[in-house]
Amino acid sequence: MLRSALLLVVFGVLLVSAQSDKITVCLEDDNDLRVDCLIKPKPNQIDSYEFSWASGNKEVLINTNVSGSSADNQFKEKSYVEELKPHGYRMTLKGFTDTLPHNTTYLCKISGSGASENVEKNKLVPCSAVSVLLRTSWSWILCVILFFYHTRN
Ligand SMILES: *[C@@H]1O[C@H](CO)[C@@H](O)[C@H](O)[C@H]1NC(C)=O
Ligand SMILES: *[C@@H]1O[C@H](CO)[C@@H](O)[C@H](O)[C@H]1NC(C)=O
């Protein structure tokens, strides 16, 4: 009984940690920086996105389509944004990977709701590794469910 309860807690924690991943930062094969923003837009709000980063206390806008605001000049023509299914946006930035500050906070906003993640330059992971990681956590969840049912029966 205690063991099942423990497993349920582990299962819950895994689920929650898998769901709170609203922003992921990784490096593409060609060394471009990729930021995925997976915030669910609130209904009845203007659909918009905003990507920025901060280092120290300086925040600069990389790409946005919020009317009235515009990206910092250094990022013009360097980044593009595409829509992700079922919701969210992916921003790709070319040419800044080598000159990133050591400690950078990546921020994104969708329709006003924001998420951020602090990533050190030498801890940036290849995007291919991120998807492996996601797959791994899903197989973990499956294992736990199977084990849970197994111990109950
Ligand atoms: C921002 O871009 C998205 C996707 O292209 C679009 O649906 C949305 O209407 C745009 N928002 C604004 C404020 O232009
Ligand atoms: C990186 O910056 C963030 C936000 O400014 C700070 O909270 C964090 O401690 C810093 N990390 C390192 C290793 O300097």
Taking a C-beta distance cutoff of 8 angstroms, is the pair 32, 97 a contact?
yes
* Mutation test residue for ligand 2: of 103, 104, 123, the one with most atoms within 8 Å of CB: 103
Q: Is 117 in contact with 105 (CB distance < 8 Å)? A: yes
The pLDDT tens digits of the residues spanning 46-62 come to: 899 999 999 988 999 99
Quick check: 143 and 10 in contact, CB under 8 A? no
Instruction: Write out the H or E segment, with its range, that includes residue 2.
Output: helix 2-19
Domains located in the chain, CATH noted: 2-152 (2.60.40.10)
CB atoms within 10 A of CB 1: 7
Read off the pLDDT of each residue in 80-102 and give the average, rounded to a whole number.
94
Residue 55 CB–ligand 2 contact under 6 Å: no
pLDDT tens digits for 129-147? 866 666 666 666 666 667 7
Q: Distance (Å, rounded) from C-alpha 48 to C-alpha 11?
A: 34
Distance CA 47, CA 139 (A): 34
Candidate from 46, 65, 111 with most ligand 1 atoms within 8 A of CB, to mutate? 65
